[in-house]
Structure 1
Amino acid sequence: MIEKILVGNRGEIALRVIRAAREMGIQSVAVHSTADADAMHVRMADESVCIGPAPGTQSYLSIPAIIAACEITGAQAIHPGYGFLSENANFVQIVEDHGLTFIGPTAEHIRVMGDKITAKDTMKSLGVPVVPGSDGGVPDVEAALKIGEEFGYPVIIKATAGGGGKGMKVANNADEMKSAFQTARAEGKSNFGNDEVYIEKYLQKPRHIEIQVFGDGKGKAVHLGERDCSLQRRHQKVFEEAPGPAISPEERARIGQTCAEAVARINYIGAGTIEFLYEDGEFYFIEMNTRLQVEHPVTEAIFGVDLVREQIRVAEGLPMSFSQDDLEINGHAIEVRINAERLPNFAPCPGKITQYHAPGGLGVRMDSALYDGYSIPPYYDSLIGKLIVHGRDRPEALARLHRALGELIVDGIDTTIPLFDALLAEPDIQSGDYSIHWLERWLDANMAES
């Protein structure tokens, strides 16, 4: 059994893992850069090890430093959180080669799902519906133009190794295809070292729906419903809710069962998320994230499960503590991502926190590593907290979110808190009538720089 876990991450997700480990009686080891010496996850862990200078490439992304930290402390397992090395198949292989346990899927599953073309082909073979588009990579502009003619415009060109909105370009006609194709290839090459792209039909008003799956690595898997993550800025999620306000119980059961059966067939282990575009009652696979998602707390809220605890259990070789029949949705949950950013242009805003007060009360959860006097370093992602609320239904969850935002105090820096206050006043948000394009259009109309 695992007695000590090294948490290969920082911030709120590192705290999340440390808390789960402590409840299970497992010791935790925090790793940190020199910039994070006073971070909350370092204070909360049983042990800590400095693994390098401030830049992530020299610390949190340093595989030798993380392996050495395990050897120094005697940690038997590594939980990667999300981001950094969480979906690096080479890292997982090295962890296993050193006789350590990686709390997550296998290197092979990460490798297959990390390449978008291979992932799409794999899911298609497992019976998961996919977006119409090219069969594999598109070699040149001429081939791209033929695909545009075949499926009709608009289409979206995507870098095979892309992510976070990089290497994605929309073409509305043949002329736009020529420049969009070259730009997507260039972005793929510069950001991911791979200029291969593929093309899909661009849906007009889709929602971003993701299905949470969980497997035991031995041929059993379940789904934990869906999350609607359609409110996005530059392909980055800002507001997530579960269950999705546009998904019927019948649709949930159908797509959920399809996903659970797919990951069971490949003996997937641990938490994973299968992401779809949803339009007119149809689901279209776009990618699978082979890790814990930032927005996992909304799923935990409506099902009453601890996904991190479950990740650790199956990594130890234990069976899942629940079956599909045990999983029943209870109420509605919403998460908003609080970033250290200055509106309206969302510029990063690191700095010293002069006052911090987390909201509380029934159905309110604040996942954050902030504290009074903490200085947010400029080297990492601007996410500084996640406010999660749970209610008996969606109206109650929205009301609770409004109340909790009013209690949340983060002084000393600018944050995105005012964005959510404004969004909650919008009729489309109150009714749940929005798509993946809604927020960008709303921002253009309501938050242009003066």
Structure 2
Amino acid sequence: MGGSDSIFADDVELIKNAEVLEEDYTPETILCRDAALDDFTDVLKPIYKGRPPQNAFLYGDTGVGKTAATKHLRDKLVDDLETKNADLPADEQVTLNVIWINCENFTTGDHKTSSYQVAVGIVNRLRDKGNRITGTGYAPQDVYDIMYSELDDLDGTVLIVLDEVDKIGKDDTLLYELPRSRDMGYLETVRVGVIGISNDYTFRKNLSPKVKDSLCETEIKFPPYDAVELRQILQSRAELALYDDAYTDETIQLVSALAYQEASGSARRAIRLLRGSAEIAEGEGVEQIAETHVRQADKKIEYGNIVESIADQDDEKLYILKALAHLDLVDKTPARTRTIHRAYSRVVRAYNEDSGSEPLTQRGMFNHLSKLVMFGFVHTIDRNKGAGGGQWNEHEFSDDVDPAKVKEAYDERGLDWKRIKTRGVDK
């Protein structure tokens, strides 16, 4: 291990197979999800038997195995059909096409996804690179017609997986039509099954009854892993990914405990933490992960999660956070609402010089500011000077947020960190 003169090399290596610690790695065996896998297998059985497919809605928090289970069973179904078809005449073989769409990848500039955008994504997934359509310029019905035409050019059964389906929001036209496309006469030759995957169970509750009846034909819940299950999953990954002397049972126990406490039993968080710990230990040139490495990795992941959460906010909230950042940099926080509104207005005008978009009123801005308080990005201080002095609120960043994190979030969104004059000081 080690021995290279490259600046990119470490003196020791603890990771022997980094792919096992990647988010898109699909293990050969899905641990601790027996009940969900049984239910999911029942959903896919009709496809194996050449019968009309079923639809299913998978829900549960981030990192609880929904995507991994879907990929695992998809691969298993494809392999088993290949084996089955080898012994059947051509006219009896079962043809399966799987289309995987992550709805988050089809967000527009205002961070919203529509049925229209996802339909465009399905069309382009089925077309060659030079023949794809753009996300604008077509009437919605034209896009749906193109999509159904492309689907009908396939054979047999089409299984469409809509990962992060909650990103579609209220525009659920596609979620109603796709599962019923054959019955509604949009398709003649193929049969479509739809698997919706969501981190947000409230999305299912807010679906219209007609969509629930079709998409949610079967609902499969993926509960959070408990600490014991996380240890089992981590132990399995560590055996494949790390050298034997790189970790101890105590390492696995600490990583699983932190992931259980801080991320609601997320295996994804636990695996990221294990990898980060190993990389920090490698950087220090030691041959075994220690508690200090796990703690350092945990802080690093938490920092990144906050930046990502900030970047996920809509434009108005980002403008408010930038205004607070400028006020913070010139020691003007905690600040009253009207002070933040003045800074926010300068930010909005700086970022919308071409469009001419105007800032929200102070009341409109305050509604977004209140959400930032609720999300834990901003802290509110109640000032009370008694009967003669009056009452008011002041606002500042919470302990987990600072101007550097807001700037990183802007960078992640591809937004220029413009210089804004705030109360006469340029920062």
TM interval, shorter chain, is under 0.3
More helix by share: 2
Return the index of the structure with the highest Cα Rg: 2
Q: Return the structure number with greater relative CO, CA threshold 8 A, min gap 6.
A: 2
Output the TM-score relative to the length of structure 1: 0.27
